[in-house]
Amino acid sequence: MENEADYEPDSGGPERGFGRNRRGHGYWSVSPLILPASGIMIGVCAILIGLVKIFETHVGPSRVDEHTALCGIFFLISAILSYLSSYGRGRTKNKGKLELLGDTAFVVGLISLVVVAVLFSFEFI
């Protein structure tokens, strides 16, 4: 397995997130893709919370807004880790770990948002 410190971003490449290691092998970085997607999902969570607050007066109280806020926190963590992985100062060997943690937080946020949607649709929460 190659050392993560061997990787450096490719300057001027046409594909976003593509880089080359010192041996010339290519790899894909998902951080530039996760960052805008996390921002969009934070906005989706905020809109969902606002809609639930509006409809709570007609339907009655529910805890969907609180659970959706927790999903938004996962997306926020994902965005922060992705940002640090992509635009952090200096070349550190932790960029690969930050990218993996950001990717994991994004997937956990997606799964939790789907679970909240399913539980809400069956009126469990």
Q: Is the distance from CB of 84 to CB of 103 less than 8 angstroms? A: no
Residue 85 is assigned to a structural domain of this protein: yes
Q: What is the mean pLDDT of residues 28-50?
A: 92
pLDDT at 117 over 90: yes
Say whether pLDDT at 41 is over 60: yes
Counted domains in the chain: 1
Query: 72 lies in a domain?
Result: yes
Domain ranges, residue 68: 31-121
- pLDDT digits 0-9 by tens, 91-105: 667 888 899 999 999
Q: Is residue 30 helix, strand or coil? A: coil
The confidence score (pLDDT) of residue 81 equals 94
Q: Give the predicted TM-score (pTM) of the model.
A: 0.75
Higher pLDDT, 23 or 95: 95
Region class of 34: left (phi > 0), else alpha (psi between -120 and 50), else beta: alpha
Residue 25 lies in a domain: no
**Within a domain: residue 43?**
yes
| 15 is a domain residue | no
Residue 26 lies in a domain: no
The span from the CA of 113 to the CA of 85, in Å, is 24
Answer for the pair 30, 15: CB distance below 8 angstroms, yes or no: no
What stretch of H or E contains 20? strand 18-21
